[in-house]
Structure 1
Amino acid sequence: MRKFVCLFVVICVAQTLFAQETKYTIATEKEKWNTDSLGNHRAVVMVNSNVPVAKASIIWRRRDDNPQDKRIIVEDAQTHQKVTNVKTGNITNLSGDIYFQPVSGKGIYYVYYMPYKNEGRSNYPKGVYLKPENTADGNWLQGINSSIKPNATVQEIQAIDSLNSFYPMEVIAIGKETAALTAKSKNKDYIVFPEDRIYPIKMMDYLPYKWVQKGLSNTFKGTADKGENYSFQLGIYALKNINNVSISFSNLQGANGQSIPAAAISCLNNTGIKYDGTPFTNTVHVGADSVQAMWCLVDIPKKIPAGVYKGEATINTNSAPQTINIEIAISNKEAFNGNIAEPWKGTRLKWLNSAMAQENKVIAPYTPLKVNNHTISLLGRKIAINNDGFPAQIQTFFTSEMTEYKDSPNNLLTEPIHFHFTTASGSNMQLQSKGLQFTEQTEGTVTWKATSSNDTLQMDVAASMEFDGFISYTVKLTALQNVSFKDITMHIPFTKEVAKYMMGLGEKGGYRKDSFEWKWDVAHKNQDGAWIGNVNAGLQYSLRDEKYVRPLNTNFYLQKPLLLPTSWGNDNKGGITIGEKGASILANNYSGERTVQKGDTLYYNFTLLITPFHTINTDFQWANRFYHKYNAIDSIKATGATVINIHHATPINPWINYPFIAWQKMKAYIDSAHQNGLKVKIYNTVRELSNHAYETFPMRSLGHEIYSPGKGGGYSWLQEHIDSDYIAAWFVPDLKDAAIVNSGMSRWHNYYVEGMNWLVQNVGIDGIYLDDVAFDRVTMKRIKRVLTADNHPGIIDLHSANQYNKNDGFNNSANLYMEHFPYLNRLWFGEYFDYENNSPDFFLTEVSGIPFGLMGEMLQGGGNPWRGMIYGMTNRMPWSDNADPRPIWKVWDDFGMQGTKMLGYWSDNCPVKTSNDKVLATVYKKEGKALISIASWADSDTTVQLKIDWKALGIDASKATITAPEIKNFQQGKTFGLNDAITVAKNKGWLLIIQ
């Protein structure tokens, strides 16, 4: 478990300052006990004499609800045997009377007072507190004189470790103590308690006993270094409901005439920078008898004389304001980088308001946007804009093998994307365009707007396109008169050549159905759009309105699902049909009948993503071989792997999504890997956050901005310290690492970007391994920028379990995460993906990444190596015991895969086919030879012959040989004649070399 010297110092200092009836300590390594049966807290009791009944009155000041309903376990400290003769007296939050038989006579006994057991899945436990039990002998019970005075001394209250300790900020004041304190402020609506940063305010329902002991004060005093990211707290205890709480600051003036300007001081709870770089303000409300921590941040200037700087903080509410004096003593020491190396002091809270990497600079391999009249060009694609603001045509310039660009376009549309406004009478309302206007033209972003209207309806279109092919549309409809519509629809008319495959809207990736119908069901389905396309040209679109909020993903979708768009959903009247209409495959996005009153507005917003994003980098696939486990550097290097993925719950990255505690161990490991020619990536994502994060309680003070609301529960630490209103997430039993679900898009993403930058610059990480993604493309671009800064490789691979299930809202992983694909280097869409019973078109669209310019790897059960090689995929070391990719890696090296041209079965130019259309072939071609991968989807073992276009293959047939190299657990070595029949086992295949 985690231990920090600084926290032990904090506890010792606090005990010196605030002498109490009870001493609170942390168990030493020798004193630790089994928390899974005894809980995290105990009282150490000394029985002073040999008595048949010992009585201990424990002043424990507990914050948990219903302490009388939790079991008491007494243990003999000498023998560690459970004492069976135990009886409880009065049990309250303040104290508890415990009677027990001191079986070893006088000496030390342990009283465990919050024992629990974990039920359910080990990684998603339900901590259940044990109910009281009666194990005492009847005769012994009869001998108890309940009026006896305590004859056992409580020496201390111990927590299993510093993280679990309640001291000092969760040691409660009882009601009469609070009442006595508040009586001194009976003319006020609230009391302000200034508090140091090293004592984060944790409770909302109780005052800390520490505050009662200290008494009321209207002055905060603290110490800081020059240039430090300093923070402090103002705890507001509301005596009645108070609203519109905000804090303003004066300059902090020094006796030397220098000052810290008010502009350098802010309140984290009131103002900040959103994840997308826009500033915001937040109004705080505090309910009666509740505590609200207000975290104040001070940017101490670097060039400021040492001394004491004084000023004021004014708390403004709907009642009378209050003023707190602020005194900060600045030392002669200059902080390094704001003292962010000491995050337990809150020095990284500043990261929550970071705008790092927000400027939309072009990220390699993308190229700057170029505008020519109404046409925007970007890497491998073009879009022509109509006068109404919608795409007139979308083109891509990728070859069907996806390894090159070409001059002739692939047209996605048969006609422009357009809206239809069908009135109640059945007529099609026409709008007159007032023209297109480009409002911003930069290398990374182009924006435009257009207005179309008649005397009844006005349509205002505002759109932006980014360098990777993402287009966002805001379509605002305003009724100029009362009007009834039979339907409002948007048509996307795809060319038949492009609309070969489909994924999304409840459909697994694969060949598009001839006709398709879909209806909204946001409560159960994470579905608001689809991808329709071919390997070298496609379009993903998503339907939204102005209230769109990104839902939670993976297991948590049902707890925060999509919001039904008022426009497109229209009380579930809306939907989508896709099918052939004339020369087009028409995606008809309808919203159904409605009546709109004059002045009403509706937002028919949508997004587009033009695929592919770039050509496939096959050489990266062959050269970068991932080893997905923490292990010794030498042993990893010996496997032939070149990139190490370090998961969480490992010695150098123990805490999930918080890789900032064991960073020195991580750096030493990465330095060693670099010396051996290996790269190292780490697990670090956004979806859930370890309870070991230093900033847990400051972020809890922000309400639901960073942590999602929920029913609570989960591991005991969460129940004991977070209390309620959260979602318990992943748990690592060995480390007792308990995560909490993030709320979605929040300032935590700013911290995440800053943290990644710090890890690149200070620890030397070469990239990240993403385990699903809970942030949007704005954060992904920022992450890619900081990971690749200063020529760092910035490798990103994304793992996803198959999202097509009830808890995840029946979405496709590739459809869900497509907005991130422009910045990924590899996919690992493996967990719960079936490699045996799915068709090639499913592999191509949902697993391989090829239609998007990516390549992937397999996971579940080690994958199917024969089918995988059709798409250039192996499994990943050493994830699967029954599938080792090294024999195939050896074939790659022996053949010389670097520089080959991949010609997949999907390519119009693939020079090798088989005589059975269920046995597919992909060619890896180079000068004078080719590696042919064949794999079978036939229903049984079969025999095929190769159909080879020798001219296209670039090999003289009269001199050619076909050999199957020996590959362990894959195939036996063999030589084939040019016209030989080749036996292919069911679900298997061959790797053949023609030269």
Structure 2
Amino acid sequence: MYQSLISLTLCCTWIAGAADTGITNAFEDLKHQGTIREEDSPMRVGASTEAMEALIQSEPEAQWFCFPDQREMALRDSRILPKRWADMSSLRRGVLTLKASPGEYFVYQLGLFAARADMKDVSVEFSPLKNDEGQEISPRGMTCFNAGGVDVYGKPFHRAVNVVRGNLQSLWIGVDIPDSAFGPYKGTVTITPRRGLSRTVAVTLDVQGLPVQAHGDDEGYRMSRLRWLNSSIGHGDKPTAPYTPLAVIPSESGTDIQYLGGVLRLGRNGLPSMARTFYNEANTLIPRVQNDILADSMRLVVETDKGPVTWTSGELKVARESDGKVVWTAQSVGSGMELICTGTFEFDGFSDIRLNLKSDRDLDVKDVRLEVPFTEYASKYFMGLGRRGGFFPEKGIDWKWNVEKKHQDSFWIGNVNAGMRMLFKGDGYKRPLVNVYYKYGRLRLPESWGNGGEGGIRIAPDGKGKVLAGIFTGPRTLKAGKSLDFNMELLITPVKPLDWKHQVEERYYHSNSDVSSEYVKAARDKGANIINIHHKKDIYPFINYPYYDASVGDLKSFIGQAHQEGLKVKAYYTTREISIKIPEIWAMRSLGGEIIMDGPGKDATTVTNPKGPDKWLVDNFGTHFVPAWHNAFNHGKYAGEMDLSVLTTPDSRWNNYYLEGLDWMVRNIGLDGIYIDDSALDRESMKRGRRVLDADGKRRSVDMHSWNHMNAWAGYANSLLIYADLFPFIDRLWIGEGFSPNSSPDFWMVEISGIPFGIMSETLNSHNYWRGMIHGMTPRLGWSGDPSSIWKIYDALNMAEARMLGYWNPSCPVIASSPDVKATAYVMKDKALVVLANWTNKDVDTVLTLDAGKLGFVPGKASLPDMPGIQNMEASIDLSSPLSLKGGKGMFILLEK
């Protein structure tokens, strides 16, 4: 390789085109007003006081009443008895006769009214439904959704059903009808409180007509999709792409677990003693590259008056449970204490470690702390604990728990190719709410790490080439026989190799226009090949419910049209909130706070609802909810209509429903992926979603957006920390709503670019063509700028085959003489595109130094590509004079052999 340094200076008459700074602000949608269009329902009409009294007196001994009814007559308010039910005769209250279709998952409801006493631990028992020929529908195919089901982790659970005196409760029942069923099927359903008499309802389902497809899931009005709540779709331990099976390798130094990106070594105490990645500075996997994250073993220190406890560890027991998961356990004892470490490690570098500490006597200790020594190399950058992302602070970190105001329980420390995210939690951990809703779902202070607010984290260089993190509790008393759970999550970064090829080839169009008729043309004309469909669109009107009956046909037609033009289509789809327009909204409401997040209801205020909830929510929901996003249509099919939403509870069965909905869209309307906005999705659900998308081997992508959480509403959190454990299953980031383009390069690196995590990103409010492309980022067409000039350069140079050698990479062949100018080179066989970014708002002159050996060729020609909207060029090029860069701008320079 030719190894000489060539000082190349370029001079030109520079004319910067007017940059497209137009950025869509979705918050503008909150200003729009409209109406909720819904059919009037008899269930909105409450019974008079006289009618309620007459009902109660009709059965003087009855403590409660049951009202069987059809799915269309959903109970709306648990405090108001509908007139329809109060008028129901005693005979009618004991009989339910409804029509159903063969193959349908049929849904009906049982309304309970606790007239004279509380109803506790209500149980529901089904008999078989039999027809005249003796054929039957087994009770195994019947479900009461209120009484339990299958949780987000695939485990069955039971849920107590209680009704407070004077209130009502709907029980939603599902019946799985076979395709072969025909005619009347008769049976019973019996409702029994823990104390009190049972009531039995005679149920007749008259099954008629042709079998419906997919259990009726293709038509939302049937509400058969309620069965999705108990789905286990996507569960398993098989690695998702691009990951490989785990390998467990015992050695004298410990037990190594090898995965795609590196290796984790466990010591005899069960804690990591080594964490190492195999990535070079371009985040390409190179097995011979070894970057150590840990400088030494992690250890739990219990400090007493006599000094730290000396632990004696037994045998480390490690088992490869599957291709995708390794589990282990270890026991250590010392000074009358027992420490049991259990852990899991997964195929993407994620581990969940639980430390259970128990003393055989009451013992006052000075401190219990986890010590984690990081290498100097893997301590270049830091993010978390109230610190914006960037270089590790010279003075270190000194932080204490404050869950009331701060969504802070984790940090990331690392370099671009070697790092670790650590999250600390206790027993009974529940994930908090994200975005502006933190005050309605805060972190729980862990009894272990938090120690009543005395606990905290200190991280500082130790003066010996290491950076030592101490996660401490401070003085405390260990009670005899009482366990403390010091639990944590680790994620080794990068989570996967950077995918520059797809970053170049997949080009997004993302519009906020209500009307979609011009989307395909606008995308195609500018060179985009993926269209993201936001909600509040004529083909997707209501948030997080893309399969709404009245619009899903339009969405399917749009996808078909886009496919004919060679474009892919993805839809906004997340779990933070749900529209009140979903057919099952009242059934979800009947589940209490399981799916619809509990909250102050009419008294709730947020940034998105500063004056409280919309009147419709106040009138119809009243209590026990948190209002979320809302918007109205100005144009198109739904002009004048309003969409309201309420927050969902993290880690609920709604995730199961969401994943089944994803699968349904892939199979039925040809969806090519999803766009996730600040989400309540947990890691397990995101992993399941990845399996759903990849099931048939077709490439479908997931891109994720997040708002800036570093504010009081969101608990001063770092967006990337909140979602880091989802990154292994995401293809692209779109971070930076609320981030300034004038942030420092180290902030761009850590909090915007995605590079240290192995995922590439796009710019949003941090929109700057030059600073973006230093990190391989462009704005998103239709929402945050016009990248079409860059896309044309991609095509002209075949840049999908280029190597990105960034300014942070020692292999970068370009160095600018000014420290305020950063240079990244995209290198091909005999040419390279060099991008320069001026990180000041003042004009800067700089000289470039090129290393031909690193470049791979001796450049004989340098030019400025014509890039309308970014740079326009006059013909003069002088290799002997400095470059003049305008403040806040830069250059795209083409080098050719």
TM-score (norm 1): 0.82
Q: Distance in 1 between matches of 2:151 and 2:257?
A: 29
Q: Alignment partner of 2:366: what SS? A: strand
Q: Distance in 1 between matches of 2:337 and 2:97?
A: 61
Amino acid at match of 2:687: K
Amino acid at match of 1:893: D
Q: What are the within-5 Å matches in structure 2 for residues 573-972 of structure 1?
A: 573-581=454-462, 582-629=464-511, 630=516, 631-661=518-548, 662-713=551-602, 714-734=613-633, 735-836=641-742, 838-860=743-765, 863-880=767-784, 883-938=785-840, 940-957=842-859, 960-972=860-872
| C-alpha distance 302-459 of structure 1, shift in aligned 2 (>3 A) | farther
Match of residue 183 from structure 1: 57
Shift of 1:774: 1.3
Structure 2 counterpart of 1:429, from 306, 309, 314: 309
The structure with the larger Rg is 1
Does residue 1:407 correspond to 2:294, yes or no? Answer: no
Structure 1 counterpart of 2:242, from 365, 370, 379: 365
Match of residue 458 from structure 1: 338
Match of residue 886 from structure 2: 985
Shift of 1:831: 1.2
Shift of 1:975: 5.2
Shift of 1:939: 5.9
Amino acid at match of 2:456: G
Amino acid at match of 1:864: N
Q: Alignment partner of 2:836: what SS? A: strand
> Deviations for 1:773-826, whole angstroms, at most 9, x for unmatched residues?
111111111111112221332211111111111101111111111111111111
User: What 5-or-longer segments of structure 1 have no aligned partner?
Assistant: 1-120, 129-159
Q: What are the within-5 Å matches in structure 2 for residues 377-396 of structure 1?
A: 377-396=258-277
Amino acid at match of 1:952: K
| C-alpha distance 162-884 of structure 1, shift in aligned 2 (>3 A) | closer
Does residue 1:257 correspond to 2:134, yes or no? Answer: yes
Deviates more, 1:298-307 or 1:766-775: 298-307
Cα RMSD, aligned residues only: 1.8
Shift of 1:255: 2.5
Q: Distance in 2 between matches of 1:324 and 1:688?
A: 36
* 8 Å Cα contact 2:544/2:573 also seen in 1: yes
Q: Alignment partner of 2:881: what SS? A: coil
Does residue 1:565 correspond to 2:446, yes or no? Answer: yes
Amino acid at match of 1:796: V
Q: Distance in 1 between matches of 2:161 and 2:321?
A: 39
Match of residue 314 from structure 1: 191
Amino acid at match of 2:756: P
Does residue 1:532 correspond to 2:413, yes or no? Answer: yes
Q: Alignment partner of 1:556: what SS? A: helix
| C-alpha distance 624-585 of structure 1, shift in aligned 2 (>3 A) | same
* 8 Å Cα contact 2:119/2:193 also seen in 1: no
Q: Alignment partner of 1:817: what SS? A: helix
Deviates more, 1:786-795 or 1:651-660: 786-795
* 8 Å Cα contact 1:124/1:729 also seen in 2: no
Q: Alignment partner of 1:177: what SS? A: helix
Shift of 1:254: 2.7
Amino acid at match of 1:980: S
Shift of 1:429: 0.9
> Deviations for 1:578-613, whole angstroms, at most 9, x for unmatched residues?
101123101110011111221111110000000001
Amino acid at match of 2:887: K
Q: Distance in 1 between matches of 2:521 and 2:884?
A: 41
* 8 Å Cα contact 1:688/1:742 also seen in 2: yes
Does residue 1:302 correspond to 2:171, yes or no? Answer: no
Q: Distance in 2 between matches of 1:815 and 1:190?
A: 50
Deviates more, 1:904-913 or 1:402-411: 402-411
> Deviations for 1:213-240, whole angstroms, at most 9, x for unmatched residues?
2222212222222221111111110022
Q: Alignment partner of 1:518: what SS? A: strand
Structure 1 ranges of 4+ moved more than 3 A? 121-128, 303-307, 974-979
Does residue 1:438 correspond to 2:344, yes or no? Answer: no
Q: Alignment partner of 1:318: what SS? A: coil
Deviates more, 1:459-468 or 1:332-341: 332-341
Shift of 1:868: 0.8
Q: What are the within-5 Å matches in structure 2 for residues 9-408 of structure 1?
A: 163=38, 165=40, 167-216=41-90, 217-239=93-115, 240-331=117-208, 333-373=210-250, 374-408=255-289
* 8 Å Cα contact 1:627/1:642 also seen in 2: yes
Q: Alignment partner of 1:898: what SS? A: helix
Shift of 1:325: 2.2
> Deviations for 1:334-381, whole angstroms, at most 9, x for unmatched residues?
221101122222211000111111112211111111111211111121
Structure 2 counterpart of 1:504, from 384, 387, 392: 384
* 8 Å Cα contact 1:122/1:731 also seen in 2: no
Shift of 1:977: 4.3
Q: Alignment partner of 1:341: what SS? A: coil
* 8 Å Cα contact 2:108/2:173 also seen in 1: yes
Q: Distance in 1 between matches of 2:331 and 2:50?
A: 66
User: What 5-or-longer segments of structure 2 have no aligned partner?
Assistant: 1-26, 603-612, 634-640
Q: Percent identity?
A: 35
Aligned length: 836
Q: Distance in 2 between matches of 1:795 and 1:208?
A: 47
Shift of 1:534: 0.2
Match of residue 16 from structure 2: none
Q: Alignment partner of 1:257: what SS? A: coil
Amino acid at match of 1:842: F
Q: Alignment partner of 2:389: what SS? A: strand
Match of residue 605 from structure 2: none
Q: Alignment partner of 1:724: what SS? A: coil
Q: Distance in 1 between matches of 2:854 and 2:218?
A: 60
Match of residue 15 from structure 2: none
Q: Distance in 1 between matches of 2:452 and 2:30?
A: 36
Q: Alignment partner of 2:801: what SS? A: coil
Shift of 1:976: 3.9
Q: Alignment partner of 2:44: what SS? A: coil
> Deviations for 1:178-207, whole angstroms, at most 9, x for unmatched residues?
111111222122111111112111121121
Q: Distance in 2 between matches of 1:779 and 1:635?
A: 34
Match of residue 31 from structure 1: none
TM-score (norm 2): 0.91
Shift of 1:161: 7.3
| C-alpha distance 218-125 of structure 1, shift in aligned 2 (>3 A) | farther
> Deviations for 1:655-682, whole angstroms, at most 9, x for unmatched residues?
0111112111111110111111100111
Does residue 1:994 correspond to 2:890, yes or no? Answer: no
| C-alpha distance 993-644 of structure 1, shift in aligned 2 (>3 A) | same
Q: Distance in 2 between matches of 1:583 and 1:516?
A: 17
Q: Distance in 1 between matches of 2:780 and 2:210?
A: 49
Shift of 1:846: 0.4
Does residue 1:479 correspond to 2:359, yes or no? Answer: yes
Q: Distance in 2 between matches of 1:819 and 1:161?
A: 37
Match of residue 608 from structure 2: none
